[in-house]
Protein backbone atom coordinates (compact mmCIF):
# COMPACT_ATOMS: atom_id res chain seq x y z
CA UNK A 1 0.00 0.00 0.00
CA UNK A 2 2.74 2.46 0.92
CA UNK A 3 4.56 1.74 -2.36
CA UNK A 4 1.54 3.01 -4.30
CA UNK A 5 1.55 6.44 -2.68
CA UNK A 6 4.78 7.66 -4.35
CA UNK A 7 3.61 6.26 -7.69
CA UNK A 8 0.27 8.04 -7.43
CA UNK A 9 2.01 11.23 -6.39
CA UNK A 10 4.26 11.05 -9.46
CA UNK A 11 1.26 10.48 -11.72
CA UNK A 12 -0.39 13.58 -10.34
CA UNK A 13 2.71 15.65 -10.97
CA UNK A 14 3.47 14.29 -14.45
CA UNK A 15 2.75 16.72 -17.27
CA UNK A 16 -0.33 16.19 -19.35
CA UNK A 17 0.33 15.24 -22.95
CA UNK A 18 -2.81 16.65 -24.42
CA UNK A 19 -2.54 18.17 -27.85
CA UNK A 20 -3.88 21.58 -28.79
CA UNK A 21 -6.43 19.84 -31.02
CA UNK A 22 -7.91 18.15 -27.95
CA UNK A 23 -9.32 21.54 -26.97
CA UNK A 24 -10.42 22.82 -30.37
CA UNK A 25 -13.59 22.51 -32.38
CA UNK A 26 -13.77 20.51 -35.62
CA UNK A 27 -14.16 23.72 -37.60
CA UNK A 28 -10.74 24.82 -36.36
CA UNK A 29 -8.90 21.71 -37.54
CA UNK A 30 -6.68 21.78 -40.63
CA UNK A 31 -8.59 19.12 -42.52
CA UNK A 32 -6.66 19.67 -45.76
CA UNK A 33 -3.40 18.64 -44.11
CA UNK A 34 -5.17 15.72 -42.43
CA UNK A 35 -6.27 14.52 -45.87
CA UNK A 36 -3.00 15.33 -47.65
CA UNK A 37 -1.00 13.31 -45.11
CA UNK A 38 -2.74 10.09 -46.17
CA UNK A 39 -0.63 7.51 -47.99
CA UNK A 40 -2.80 7.06 -51.08
CA UNK A 41 -5.89 8.37 -52.87
CA UNK A 42 -8.17 5.80 -51.25
CA UNK A 43 -6.99 6.87 -47.79
CA UNK A 44 -7.39 10.52 -48.72
CA UNK A 45 -11.01 9.89 -49.70
CA UNK A 46 -11.67 8.02 -46.44
CA UNK A 47 -10.15 10.90 -44.45
CA UNK A 48 -12.19 13.37 -46.47
CA UNK A 49 -15.34 11.40 -45.67
CA UNK A 50 -14.39 11.42 -41.99
CA UNK A 51 -13.91 15.19 -42.10
CA UNK A 52 -17.24 15.76 -43.83
CA UNK A 53 -19.07 13.55 -41.30
CA UNK A 54 -17.39 15.26 -38.35
CA UNK A 55 -18.25 18.72 -39.64
CA UNK A 56 -21.82 17.69 -40.49
CA UNK A 57 -22.27 16.54 -36.90
CA UNK A 58 -20.78 19.83 -35.71
CA UNK A 59 -23.27 21.75 -37.86
CA UNK A 60 -26.08 19.74 -36.27
CA UNK A 61 -24.74 20.64 -32.81
CA UNK A 62 -24.60 24.33 -33.68
CA UNK A 63 -28.12 24.22 -35.12
CA UNK A 64 -29.39 22.60 -31.92
CA UNK A 65 -27.67 25.29 -29.84
CA UNK A 66 -29.26 28.01 -31.96
CA UNK A 67 -32.75 26.53 -31.90
CA UNK A 68 -32.90 26.81 -28.11
CA UNK A 69 -33.26 30.59 -28.50
CA UNK A 70 -35.79 30.53 -31.35
CA UNK A 71 -39.55 30.31 -31.61
CA UNK A 72 -41.28 27.83 -33.93
CA UNK A 73 -41.46 30.20 -36.89
CA UNK A 74 -37.76 31.00 -36.70
CA UNK A 75 -36.90 27.29 -36.34
CA UNK A 76 -38.93 26.52 -39.46
CA UNK A 77 -37.16 29.29 -41.39
CA UNK A 78 -33.76 28.09 -40.18
CA UNK A 79 -34.56 24.50 -41.23
CA UNK A 80 -35.58 25.67 -44.71
CA UNK A 81 -32.42 27.76 -44.95
CA UNK A 82 -30.29 24.79 -43.92
CA UNK A 83 -31.92 22.52 -46.53
CA UNK A 84 -31.35 25.12 -49.24
CA UNK A 85 -27.73 25.53 -48.14
CA UNK A 86 -27.14 21.77 -48.31
CA UNK A 87 -28.52 21.62 -51.85
CA UNK A 88 -26.49 24.64 -52.90
CA UNK A 89 -23.15 23.33 -51.66
CA UNK A 90 -23.71 19.88 -53.18
CA UNK A 91 -24.39 21.57 -56.52
CA UNK A 92 -21.44 23.95 -56.18
CA UNK A 93 -19.00 21.26 -55.12
CA UNK A 94 -20.18 18.86 -57.81
CA UNK A 95 -19.51 21.62 -60.35
CA UNK A 96 -16.03 22.18 -58.92
CA UNK A 97 -15.24 18.45 -59.03
CA UNK A 98 -16.54 18.23 -62.60
CA UNK A 99 -13.39 20.05 -63.65
CA UNK A 100 -11.63 16.66 -63.40
CA UNK A 101 -14.38 14.70 -65.18
CA UNK A 102 -14.27 11.72 -62.85
CA UNK A 103 -10.49 11.56 -62.51
CA UNK A 104 -8.83 10.75 -59.22
CA UNK A 105 -8.73 14.45 -58.27
CA UNK A 106 -12.50 14.83 -58.67
CA UNK A 107 -13.35 13.07 -55.42
CA UNK A 108 -10.75 14.95 -53.42
CA UNK A 109 -11.81 18.27 -54.94
CA UNK A 110 -15.43 17.55 -54.03
CA UNK A 111 -14.47 16.71 -50.45
CA UNK A 112 -12.23 19.77 -50.05
CA UNK A 113 -15.06 21.97 -51.32
CA UNK A 114 -17.64 20.45 -48.96
CA UNK A 115 -15.25 20.73 -46.00
CA UNK A 116 -14.50 24.38 -46.73
CA UNK A 117 -18.19 25.16 -47.13
CA UNK A 118 -19.06 23.35 -43.90
CA UNK A 119 -16.46 25.30 -41.96
CA UNK A 120 -17.79 28.54 -43.42
CA UNK A 121 -21.37 27.50 -42.64
CA UNK A 122 -20.61 26.98 -38.97
CA UNK A 123 -19.35 30.56 -38.73
CA UNK A 124 -22.30 31.81 -40.76
CA UNK A 125 -24.78 30.04 -38.46
CA UNK A 126 -23.16 31.64 -35.44
CA UNK A 127 -23.40 35.07 -37.08
CA UNK A 128 -27.04 34.48 -38.06
CA UNK A 129 -27.82 33.47 -34.48
CA UNK A 130 -26.09 36.52 -33.09
CA UNK A 131 -27.99 38.80 -35.47
CA UNK A 132 -31.32 37.13 -34.75
CA UNK A 133 -30.96 37.33 -30.98
CA UNK A 134 -29.40 40.79 -30.74
CA UNK A 135 -31.61 43.63 -29.51
93-128: per-residue pLDDT in tens? Answer: 999 999 988 788 899 999 999 999 999 999 999 999
CA atoms within 13 A on the CB side of 16: 5
Percent of the chain with pLDDT over 70: 82
**Domain edges within the chain:** 29-133
For 29-133, the fitting CATH number among 1.20.1270, 1.10.357, 1.10.3120, 3.30.420 is 1.20.1270
Query: What pLDDT, on the 0 to 100 scale, is given for residue 22?
Result: 53
| pTM confidence score | 0.79
DSSP codes joined into one string, 32-75:
HHHHHTSSSHHHHHHHHHHHHHHHHHHHHHHHHHHHTT--HHHH
Task: Please say whether the beta carbons of 100 and 36 come within 8 A.
Answer: no
- The more confidently predicted of residues 49 and 3 is 49
pLDDT of 16 higher than 50? no
Neighbours of 27 (CB within 10 A): 19
Query: What pLDDT, on the 0 to 100 scale, is given for residue 132?
Result: 87
Amino acid sequence: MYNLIPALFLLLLSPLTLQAEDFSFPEDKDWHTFIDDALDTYSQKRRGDEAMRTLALRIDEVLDEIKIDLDNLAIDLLNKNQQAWEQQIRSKCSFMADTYRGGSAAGITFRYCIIDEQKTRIQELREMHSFHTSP
